[in-house]
Amino acid sequence: MSRDYQLNRFSAPAELRIDYARELNAQQLAAVTAAEGPALVIAGAGAGKTRTLTYRVAWLIEQGIAPDRILLLTFTNKAAKEMMRRVEDLLGSDVSQIWGGTFHSVGARILRRHAEVLGWRPDFTILDREDAKDLIQACIDEADIDVKETRFPKPDVLGDIFSMAVNTGRSLAETLAEDYDHFAPLAEKIADIEARYLARKQATNGMDFDDLLTQWRRVLKEFPDLRDFYQRRFQFILVDEYQDTNTLQGDLIDRLAAVHKNLMVVGDDAQSIYAWRGANFRNILEFPKRWFGAQTFKIEVNYRSTPEILAFANAAIAPNVHQFQKELAAARPSGVKPVEVACMDAGEQAAFVAQRALELRDEGIPLCEMAVLYRSHFHALELQLELTRRNIPFSITSGIRFFEQAHVKDVAAYLKLVHNPRDEISFKRLVRLMPGVGGKSADKLWQKFSGEFGVLSFASRTPDAQLETPNSKPETSSLAVALARISASVPKKAAAAWAQFTATLAQLCAPEICTKPDAMIRLVLEAGYEDHLKATYPNFRNRLEDLEQLASFARQFPTMADFLTQLALLTNVEAEDNQPSADDHEKIRLSSIHQAKGLEFRVVFVIMLCDGLFPSARSVENPEGEEEERRLFYVAVTRAKDELYLTHPLMRFMAGGGDAMQQPSRFLAEVAPELREVWNLRPPVPATDFSDMGEVRADEDSPF
């Protein structure tokens, strides 16, 4: 027989150092000073979410809660450190005893103490992404799988598959069927690699990042004494960005909070935009159901944006059915309405953004206070070109720029090699994609190819040469022949890939193809590169979209030389831009919306607002996908502080040839017209020479 006995910690009467009522608004204060028990805090964009969470921690400590009885979970170490620093500044005392950090760092801390009960030693190695990739590769080698012959997924892709299954709480088979159906025929072999990988990790005393969570959960599930210890240890648990938690993280939180039930989760359901990487929107949506009697606090006072921008944002998210209803209210004075601009095509859209950015700069807004946001990376292709032409400096938040991405450079290498068969760099890049071809093999193949090509190229210039056609260069015609002649020198593993490579180049050299860069790009995809994307990249669908758009982009150039020249110039600009400089701050920001979450700018342009692009055609296949796209639009809109511009082209080049009319995004149609201003673009006025017109008099009725 047992019973619980409440042990009360002795503490002197609380003397509050912080004047919470003065430093917080009424909504924030209610959440910060909430009574014990489960609580959901819905903090809208720009409403002071971090401030609320920080003051809640300070409040608990000032109420006598020992810092080591508080667990603060965040998604980045930076966020955890910043919150701890703010709490320390507020209280004027050391708060290092708080268990604060990311899910993974807290998991590692617990597992260092208890690894042995799980079959690991406490000195286990934490495998980073590269370490995990190498170990998975060792498992593939051990299984003797011909990855090229079977189009078997690369280690990076396998790692993502395993991780997605773990974090979403699905089996490997379910994950393959739902997210990676192109690998379904390889399910048995993939399961074998997973089993080998798990065994190797334990044998080598290594844990990957997913293990830090799954093994932590094992501690709580399989060992009642340890579960009881940590449930009682963490008297108060606080979770930041709760809308981004996945199924595994949600389960860990629920288990830890089961005894004291003092769980406060903070987030914004309207900013849940990471389902594609495993986040479970239902964690936040169903919190009141899982935690009966939970208090719900809404923080709706926005300190970032003008009332006009917030009115638009509120209307934009309203159609979502699955959400907590809230109405953001502005703390700032009135400003200008958001602006909608319909453009003829992507080129005119780019011209508008560039011109308006320069006008705003002249009005006193620095370029670094402006951002151009887009749904997908390829949406900014024409804009990058236009900014380059006008010498407007820009940076890209989303990492590697479009033309520097591996898949774009691969496809460009095919075009460069056809255009200039003496291009050693492009040749070696392409042959190194083949199995069994490394740096040394590529060097040898280049030597043989260049020698053979030189002979054929010289012969093609003789009067009786038969290789030249009216629409192709003799050298181009010699390319595929030279590749075929050196096939005996190709490593055995690469024989099939080389045959495909040779056939593809022969097709690309055809007179009706070799002068059309868009047709060449499509042919490369059809000839096997799409399969390479599937096997190599977890986000192959996005990369495929990039290349399809690159084909559309290429259609505007009259010759192959023009296209490759522009490609080189843009790439060079990107390389220069990656170098640190004193004026880094004086650049307009280009960013995917996902990468811009958490940021804010005085001026925001949201581009390519066309149905099928934003929302994407794939996402609207189901209601949940459309709602997440609408949340993504909401995130984009709420990045703007002072001015918001929403643009969409009426016409777009299609990858398969021809032009297509574009419908404005449904997200624009859902917002009442009076909440925005429409700007009608006028074509440029041609310059006129008035030198011979003599004196010009105003009409008597003219006001000028």
Q: What is the DSSP secondary structure assignment for residue 265, as one 8-state letter?
A: E
Catalytic residue among 271, 476, 504, 549: 271
What lies within 8 Å, CB to CB, of 587 at 6+ separation is 367, 368, 393, 394, 395, 577
Query: Which token pair is 430?
Result: 């392409």
Helix (H, G, I), strand (E, B) or coil at 80: helix
Q: Specify whether the CB–CB gap between 606 and 647 falls below 8 A.
A: yes
* Amino acid occupying residue 154: K
CA–CA dist 29, 31 (Å, integer): 5
62 CB burial (10 A radius; 0-12, 13-18, 19+): middle
204 CB burial (10 A radius; 0-12, 13-18, 19+): middle
Which secondary-structure segment (H or E) carries 591? strand 588-592
Catalytic residue among 160, 240, 269, 308: 240
Q: Specify whether the CB–CB gap between 410 and 433 falls below 8 A.
A: yes
What values do phi and psi take at 179, rounded to 5?
-115, -20
Catalytic residue among 160, 210, 211, 241: 241
Q: What is the DSSP secondary structure assignment for residue 269, as one 8-state letter?
A: G
Report the Cα 79 to chain-centroid distance in Å.
19
To the nearest 5 percent, what fractions of the chain are helix, strand and coil? Answer: 55, 15, 35
Cross-strand partners of 589: 371, 395
Q: Specify whether the CB–CB gap between 300 and 327 falls below 8 A.
A: yes
- In the residue annotation, 178 being an active-site residue is answered as no
CA–CA dist 258, 227 (Å, integer): 10
Catalytic residue among 27, 28, 49, 201: 49
CA–CA dist 664, 668 (Å, integer): 7
Strand order from edge to edge, sheet including 263-267: 99-102, 70-74, 236-239, 263-267, 39-43, 295-299
What values do phi and psi take at 335, rounded to 5?
-140, -145
Q: Specify whether the CB–CB gap between 614 and 656 falls below 8 A.
A: no
CA–CA dist 675, 633 (Å, integer): 16
- In the residue annotation, 631 being an active-site residue is answered as no
* Amino acid occupying residue 493: K
Q: Specify whether the CB–CB gap between 64 and 14 falls below 8 A.
A: yes
What values do phi and psi take at 666, rounded to 5?
-60, -25
Catalytic residue among 33, 50, 355, 571: 50
CA–CA dist 270, 635 (Å, integer): 8
- In the residue annotation, 639 being an active-site residue is answered as yes
- Residue 216: closest CA among 118, 69, 80, 127: 118
Tally Cβ neighbours within 10 Å of residue 564.
Answer: 18
Report the Cα 578 to chain-centroid distance in Å.
19
- In the residue annotation, 271 being an active-site residue is answered as yes
- In the residue annotation, 424 being an active-site residue is answered as no
Query: Which token pair is 418?
Result: 């056809």
Q: Specify whether the CB–CB gap between 375 and 594 falls below 8 A.
A: no
Catalytic residue among 337, 356, 587, 639: 639
- In the residue annotation, 241 being an active-site residue is answered as yes
Tally Cβ neighbours within 10 Å of residue 32.
Answer: 24
Active site residues: 49-50, 240-241, 271, 639
